[in-house]
Chains A and B, each alone.
Chain A
């Protein structure tokens, strides 16, 4: 089955700096890669996703890149703000696999004011 590795497990940045979280996946059949943000005590929420026919996608301060050959994808947050502090999860999904997403272990991002 699919295996997703996520790095780093913790990340601390100064407000205004950029943050990058990286994930690798094992199954080359995976074609959908969502990212979720989970604030303390809250539910995970989808913040951005990318499909395998696209190399990059951007939404304001958040961008995701995908390298299918290397089987890795990354989340980039620019101009970080304290409210970006949360646990971020990457995930990978194989088509026609009941919509099942395999999650990475999460990255705890702390943005220091």
Chain B
């Protein structure tokens, strides 16, 4: 069983379109994250949810809207896609927000905007 799974793995779309990425974890973790990895491999946090509650919202354009229907799922919807949105998006989870633990990452979604 995959601990943190993301779909789709690849996403190619045109500028201006709207797309969603889904993430699910079966580890029973309370906290989930979205990270963006750009072409230089830098990993930057975008959002974090704890038990369905948004707890981190970094400086991300409001075209990006996360949604957590339950603590095992965290989805990312992107409106009006731009060329600069092309990147690999990683979902991750960790046991609790109160203490620090390492992340378990999903396999990533490579988004290409043309």
Which residues of chain B are within 8 angstroms of A89 by Cβ–Cβ distance?
Answer: 43
Any chain B CB within 8 A of the CB of A81? no
Interfacial residues of chain B within 71-114, with CB under 8 A of chain A in the complex: 90, 94, 96-108
Any chain B CB within 8 A of the CB of A98? yes
> Chain A: interface secondary structure?
strand
Give the distance to chain A from B63, nearest Cβ to Cβ, in Å. Answer: 22
Range of interface residues on A (Cβ < 8 Å):
20 to 34
Any chain A CB within 8 A of the CB of B55? yes
Which residues of chain B are within 8 angstroms of A102 by Cβ–Cβ distance?
Answer: 45
Which residues of chain A are within 8 angstroms of B25 by Cβ–Cβ distance?
Answer: none
Which residues of chain A are within 8 angstroms of B94 by Cβ–Cβ distance?
Answer: 99
Which residues of chain A are within 8 angstroms of B101 by Cβ–Cβ distance?
Answer: 32, 99
Range of interface residues on B (Cβ < 8 Å):
20 to 34
Contact of A95 among B31, B50, B55, B99 (CB under 8 A): B99
Point out which of A43, A49, A101, A108 has the most chain B C-beta atoms below 10 A from its C-beta.
A43
Interfacial residues of chain B within 37-56, with CB under 8 A of chain A in the complex: 40-45, 48, 50, 55-56
Query: Do B41 and A87 have beta carbons less than 8 Å apart?
Result: yes
Query: Do B31 and A98 have beta carbons less than 8 Å apart?
Result: yes
Contact code string A84-99 (vs B, CB < 8 Å = 1, else 0): 0001010001011011
A46 and B106 CA atoms in complex are apart in Å by 12
Contact of B56 among A36, A98, A106 (CB under 8 A): A98
Which residues of chain A are within 8 angstroms of B105 by Cβ–Cβ distance?
Answer: 43-45
- Ranked 4 nearest A-B pairs via Cβ: A32-B100, A46-B102, A93-B100, A43-B105
